[in-house]
Structure 1
Amino acid sequence: MSRRRNLFFGLALAATATLALSGCAGGSDTPGGEAAPESSGDDYGLISAGELTVCSDIPYPPFEFEDSSTETGYSGFDIDLLGAVAEKLDLKLAVQDVGFDALQSGTTLAAGQCDVGASAMTITEERKANIDFADPYYDSLQSLLVRADSSIKSIADLDGKTVGVQQGTTGEAYTNENATGAEVVSYPSDGELWPALQAGNIDAILQDQPVNIEHEKADSTYTIVEEYDTQEQYGWAFAKGERDALIEAVNTALQELKDDGTYQTIYDSYFAAN
């Protein structure tokens, strides 16, 4: 892990020098018997050598969801795009399923559980106090999802109704600020939020528009009745003040993916039909 790396850096240098003096470096495949250079991934303080480990709150389609057909076991816009970033950095991608609240607060990242947090996370000033962000990669809206036969047609109709939100999200904050008279019920993730609406435990869901679109597409008895332009941008998150080199590398790779058309191809595979 990156925090241990500095503690043992001196010992590692000493060990390298000893091996060189004893002639061990002569076994190198490089010309002149010089030691082969470290892979670029070693410069980033990764928690697992050769891997970019991603923490994400799953499921949250279309950004992250289980997919047994892939090497990581997951797919989605976040996962596929970071997979392309990892390939640019000559790294493999590994994915861990974690709770969103601890991820967006910086707790998971500070604990060194993963290298990057990718979970459709909006960049906010409050979050910047505890985590660092790479460049924005997605612009998003909030939206209101209800049963198609519901009397709820706008946020103004939530007075006296029960609306579900995901804990720790900008959707929760927007609902608390704007849904006057509503009972706001927070759920740990969309994995509990969506079934709650289907079971009739809540009257509506207010959350990120792309996720509500996925529910609307999956079940025609539900529909989005209103959208809210909250000027949100998503960004990948990193432990505060610890991953400057990795963030720079990720930003460079992201820009290259935009320039060569890979970003657009991945984007269109999830959002073009919408």
Structure 2
Amino acid sequence: MTRRRHLILGLALAATAALTLSGCAGSGSDTAGGDDTAPTSAGDDYGLVEAGALTVCSDIPYAPFEFEGGDNGTGYTGFDIDLLDAIAKKLDLKLSVQDVGFDALQSGTTLASGTCDIGASAMTITDERKANLDFSDPYYDSLQSLLVPADSDITSIDDLDGKIVGVQQGTTGEAYATENAPGAQLLQLPSDGELWPAIQAGTIDAILQDQPVNIEHEKADPNYKIVEEYNTDEQYGFAFSKGEKAALLDAINGALKDLRDSGDYDTIYDTYFAAN
């Protein structure tokens, strides 16, 4: 074999080896590519506080929207909770619930701190809140109402001059009472968990707050009654940290629409409000 033939054979063997190595590398690359496109953990695209979980912050109790109980694994139930549990299932996520103060939640402070992914606490969508929060599509239309003892001489908001009226701090009920009952003495309390015992103890003369919550008290104790309701054109929405959760917000809205279209929303709604 001449030197030239030795050189040609060597080049051919080198080329074969290079192709072999290239094939191995290509095979490894395909495997890596498979890893890149493999299914990821549910919710990875949403920037969740906890992987695979929709973490909800809510001020509890506020029946019928949120209160202790249920069998969804969170320790809580209610219209807001059950609706979000159904939404979480649509997104292949588990539901996690944290009890927080409403004022910090509605102001945006809690969500901005990264404590949770979403706020769900019978929260009315307002322009003031939208300055600090993003909101989902509306999921509930609400009214305000005035609850008093059954033997009270209060029959309307016009009778509140000089009376002590309990309101929840930071709510639209507080805003409505401030504007429409200027002669009343407002007692601002953190939640319905303090308002209800206060009226039972006689500390306050009335509660002005969301109609469905007062209906629950009226149903639970015939010694109390709603004497007036106020059409405030309020709609509740789920709240998100401003500008931080666009993908999750879109997913929540999509799941909410699916639940409405399927009739599952109506089933959950009727569980809590059909009798009202």
Q: Once the 2 structures are TM-superposed, how far is the Cα of residue 69 of structure 1 from its aligned partner?
A: 4.0
In 2, Cα distance between equivalents of 1:243 and 1:35 = 23
In 2, Cα distance between equivalents of 1:64 and 1:253 = 20
Find the counterpart in structure 2 of residue 17 from structure 1.
none
SS of residue paired to 2:43 = helix
Q: Which amino acid letter does the alignment assign opposite residue 217 of structure 2?
A: H
Question: Could you list the runs of 5+ residues in structure 2 that have no partner in the other structure?
Answer: 1-24
SS of residue paired to 1:215 = helix
Question: Could you list the runs of 5+ residues in structure 1 that have no partner in the other structure?
Answer: 1-19
In 1, Cα distance between equivalents of 2:46 and 2:174 = 34
| Matched ranges for 1:146-157 at <5 A | 146-157=148-159
Q: Which amino acid letter does the alignment assign opposite residue 134 of structure 1?
A: S
SS of residue paired to 1:191 = helix
Structure 1 segments of 4 or more deviating over 4 A? 20-28, 32-35
Q: Deviations over 1:47-106 (max 9, x none)?
A: 100000000000000000011644100000000000000000000000000000000000
Find the counterpart in structure 2 of residue 207 from structure 1.
209
Find the counterpart in structure 2 of residue 191 from structure 1.
193
User: Is residue 262 of structure 2 the alignment partner of residue 266 of structure 1?
Assistant: no
| Matched ranges for 1:137-148 at <5 A | 137-148=139-150
Q: TM-score, normalised by structure 1?
A: 0.88
Q: Deviations over 1:118-154 (max 9, x none)?
A: 0000000000000000000000000000001100000
Q: TM-score, normalised by structure 2?
A: 0.87
Q: Is the 8 A contact 2:41 2:51 kept in 1?
A: no
Find the counterpart in structure 2 of residue 175 from structure 1.
177
Aligned residue pair count? 252
Find the counterpart in structure 1 of residue 236 from structure 2.
234
Over the aligned positions, Cα root-mean-square deviation in angstroms equals 2.0
Q: Which amino acid letter does the alignment assign opposite residue 59 of structure 1?
A: P
User: Is residue 66 of structure 2 the alignment partner of residue 64 of structure 1?
Assistant: yes
Q: Percent identity?
A: 74
Find the counterpart in structure 2 of residue 134 from structure 1.
136
Find the counterpart in structure 2 of residue 249 from structure 1.
251
Find the counterpart in structure 2 of residue 50 from structure 1.
52
Q: Is the 8 A contact 1:62 1:214 kept in 2?
A: yes
Larger Rg: 2
1:80 aligned to which of 78, 82, 88: 82
